[in-house]
Amino acid sequence: MGTRKGMEVSIGIAEAAMMANVDVIPAYPITPQTHIVEHLAELVADGHLDAEFVPVESEHSAMSAACGSMAAGARTFTATASQGLALMHEILFIASGMRLPIVMAVANRALSAPISIWNDHGDVMAERDTGWLQVFVENGQEAYDHVLWCHRVAEDHDVLLPIMLNFDGFILSHVVEPIEVWSPEEVKQFLPDYVPPYRLDVDNPWTFGAVGIPDIYAETRMAHNEALTDSQKVMEKAWNELSEVVGRKYHAVESYKTDDADIVFLIMGSVAETCMTACDQLREAGKKAGVVRIRMWRPFPFAEIAKELGGRKVVVAVDRALSTGGCGGPMASEVKGALYHLDKRPQVIEFIAGLGGRDITIGDFMDMYDKGVAVASGGALPRYELLGVRA
Partner 1 sequence: MSSLPGWKALPPGCPVQEPLSAHKNHTGSWRSERPLWNHDHCVKCGVCDMFCPEACIKANAEGFYLANLDYCKGCGICMMECPTQCISMKQEEE
Q: Report which residue type is found at 77.
A: F
Hey, which residues between 2 and 41 contact partner 1 (CB under 8 A)? none
Question: At closest approach, how far in Å is the CB of 193 from partner 1?
Answer: 19
Give the residue, chosen from 211, 326, 341, 390, that forms a contact with partner 1 under the rule CB under 8 A.
211
Hey, which residues between 89 and 108 contact partner 1 (CB under 8 A)? 97-100
Q: Which of 133, 10, 21 is nearest to 77 (CA)?
A: 21
Q: Which is nearer to partner 1, 211 or 380 (CB)?
A: 211
Question: At closest approach, how far in Å is the CB of 230 from partner 1?
Answer: 12
Question: At closest approach, how far in Å is the CB of 227 from partner 1?
Answer: 7
Under the binding rule (CB under 8 A), the answer on residue 46 touching partner 1 is no
Under the binding rule (CB under 8 A), the answer on residue 230 touching partner 1 is no
Under the binding rule (CB under 8 A), the answer on residue 203 touching partner 1 is no
The dihedral sign for the CA sequence 337, 339, 341, 343: negative
Contact call for residues 53 and 25 (beta carbons, < 8 A) = yes
Under the binding rule (CB under 8 A), the answer on residue 214 touching partner 1 is no
Give the residue, chosen from 210, 259, 286, 325, that forms a contact with partner 1 under the rule CB under 8 A.
210
The total number of residues written for the chain in this structure? 391
Pairing relation of β-strands 176-181 and 133-136? unpaired
Stretch that binds partner 1, among 47-55, 172-180, 203-211, 327-335 (CB under 8 A): 203-211
Buried b (16+ CB within 10 A) or exposed e, 74-93: bbbbbbbbbbbbbbbeebbe
Under the binding rule (CB under 8 A), the answer on residue 197 touching partner 1 is yes
DSSP per-residue codes, 80-92: E-HHHHHHTHHHH
C-alpha to C-alpha distances, 370 to 195, 366, 389, nearest whole angstrom = 53, 6, 18
The dihedral sign for the CA sequence 199, 203, 209, 215: negative
Q: Which is nearer to partner 1, 226 or 370 (CB)?
A: 226
Question: At closest approach, how far in Å is the CB of 231 from partner 1?
Answer: 12
How far the first Cα of the chain sits from its last, in Å, is 54
Stretch that binds partner 1, among 126-134, 169-177, 210-218, 239-247 (CB under 8 A): 210-218
| Contacts with partner 1, residue ranges (CB under 8 A) | 97-100, 160, 197-198, 205-208, 210-213, 215-216, 219-220, 222-223, 226-227
